[in-house]
Structure 1
Amino acid sequence: MHRPKLELADIFRTHGPAWRQGNAGHVSLTQLKVMSAIEACRSEVLGGHVAGCAQCGHRHIAYNSCKNRHCPKCQGPAARDWMAARADDLLPVEYFHVVFTLPAEIAQIAYWNKKAVYDLLFRASAETVMTVAADPKRLGAKVGMTAVLHTWGSALTHHPHIHMIIPGGGLSPEGSRWIACRPGFFLPVRVLSRLFRRLFIEGLLALHYSGELMFFGDLAGLADAETFAAWLAPFRKSEWVTYAKPPFGGPEAVLAYLSRYTHRVAISNARLVSADAQAVAFRWKDYRIRQGDRQKVMRLSTDEFIRRFLIHVLPDGLHRIRHYGLLASAARKANIEKIRNLLGAIEPETAPQTAAEISLLTLREPCPCCGGPMRIIEIFRRGQKPQSRAPPWEQAA
Structure 2
Amino acid sequence: MPRPKLEVADIFRAHGAAYRRQHDGHLNLTQLKVMSAIETCRTAALGGHVAACTKCGYEHIAYNSCRNRHCPKCQGSTAKGWMQARMEDLLPAEYFHVVFTLPAQIADIAYQNKAAVYGLLFKASTETLLSIAADPKHLGARIGMTSVLHTWGSAMTHHPHVHVVVPGGGLSADGTRWIRCRPGFFLPVKVLSRLFRRLFLEGLIRLHRVGKLRFFGDLVGLADPDNFAAHLAPLRKTDWVVYAKPPFGGPEAVLVYLSRYTHRVAISNHRLVSADGDTVAFRWKDYRIKRGDRMKVMRLPTDEFIRRFLIHVLPPGFHRIRHAGFLANGIRRDRIETIRRLLNAEPAPGQTSDEGATDDFDDPNTLQPCPKCGGTMIVIETFPRGQTPKSRAPPREEAA
TM-score, length-normalised on structure 1? 0.95
- The amino acid of 1:166's aligned partner reads V
DSSP 3-state at the match of 1:280: strand
The offset of 1:349, in angstroms, is 4.0
Matched, 1:265 2:265: yes
Conserved? CA contact 2:87–2:353, under 8 Å: no
DSSP 3-state at the match of 1:362: helix
Q: CA–CA distance in 1 between the matches of 2:84 and 2:367? A: 14
Unaligned 5+ runs, structure 1:
none
- The amino acid of 2:217's aligned partner reads G
Q: How does 1:168-207 map to 2 (within 5 A)?
A: 168-207=168-207
Conserved? CA contact 1:363–1:375, under 8 Å: no
CA distance 1:364–1:193, shift in 2 (3 Å):
farther
Match of 1:276 in 2: 276
Match of 2:32 in 1: 32
Unaligned 5+ runs, structure 2:
none
Conserved? CA contact 2:31–2:313, under 8 Å: yes
DSSP 3-state at the match of 1:51: strand
- The amino acid of 1:313's aligned partner reads V
Match of 1:161 in 2: 161
The offset of 1:29, in angstroms, is 0.5
DSSP 3-state at the match of 1:191: helix
Q: CA–CA distance in 2 between the matches of 1:391 and 1:311? A: 37
Match of 2:93 in 1: 93
Conserved? CA contact 1:363–1:373, under 8 Å: no
- 1:225-252 CA-to-partner distances (Å, cap 9, x unmatched) read 1221122111111000101111111111
- The amino acid of 1:82's aligned partner reads W
Q: CA–CA distance in 1 between the matches of 2:358 and 2:137? A: 51
**Worse-matched range after superposition: 28-37 or 363-372:** 363-372
Match of 1:244 in 2: 244
Q: CA–CA distance in 2 between the matches of 1:292 and 1:86? A: 36
Match of 2:142 in 1: 142
Conserved? CA contact 2:86–2:353, under 8 Å: no
- The amino acid of 1:267's aligned partner reads I
The offset of 1:327, in angstroms, is 0.3
Q: How does 1:17-166 map to 2 (within 5 A)?
A: 17-166=17-166
Conserved? CA contact 2:367–2:378, under 8 Å: no
**Worse-matched range after superposition: 40-49 or 218-227:** 218-227
Q: CA–CA distance in 1 between the matches of 2:357 and 2:341? A: 34
DSSP 3-state at the match of 2:160: strand
Q: CA–CA distance in 2 between the matches of 1:364 and 1:201? A: 51
Match of 1:306 in 2: 306
Q: CA–CA distance in 2 between the matches of 1:371 and 1:244? A: 46
The offset of 1:364, in angstroms, is 5.0
- 1:336-367 CA-to-partner distances (Å, cap 9, x unmatched) read 011011111113445898x9999x74325332
Instruction: Decide which of 357, 368, 374 is 2:377's aligned counterpart.
Output: 374
Match of 2:285 in 1: 285
Q: CA–CA distance in 2 between the matches of 1:391 and 1:31? A: 32
Identity %: 70
CA distance 1:42–1:115, shift in 2 (3 Å):
same
Instruction: Provide the alpha-carbon RMSD of the alignment.
Output: 2.0
The offset of 1:289, in angstroms, is 0.2
The offset of 1:274, in angstroms, is 1.2
DSSP 3-state at the match of 1:142: coil
Q: How does 1:306-325 map to 2 (within 5 A)?
A: 306-325=306-325
Q: CA–CA distance in 1 between the matches of 2:82 and 2:55? A: 31
CA distance 1:197–1:356, shift in 2 (3 Å):
closer
Matched, 1:391 2:397: no
**Worse-matched range after superposition: 26-35 or 55-64:** 55-64
Conserved? CA contact 1:356–1:373, under 8 Å: no
Q: CA–CA distance in 1 between the matches of 2:393 and 2:374? A: 18
CA distance 1:115–1:43, shift in 2 (3 Å):
same
The offset of 1:288, in angstroms, is 0.3
DSSP 3-state at the match of 1:378: strand
TM-score, length-normalised on structure 2? 0.95
The offset of 1:308, in angstroms, is 0.6
CA distance 1:298–1:361, shift in 2 (3 Å):
closer
CA distance 1:356–1:266, shift in 2 (3 Å):
closer
DSSP 3-state at the match of 2:366: coil
- 1:249-277 CA-to-partner distances (Å, cap 9, x unmatched) read 11111000000000000001111111122
The offset of 1:395, in angstroms, is 6.1
The offset of 1:59, in angstroms, is 1.8
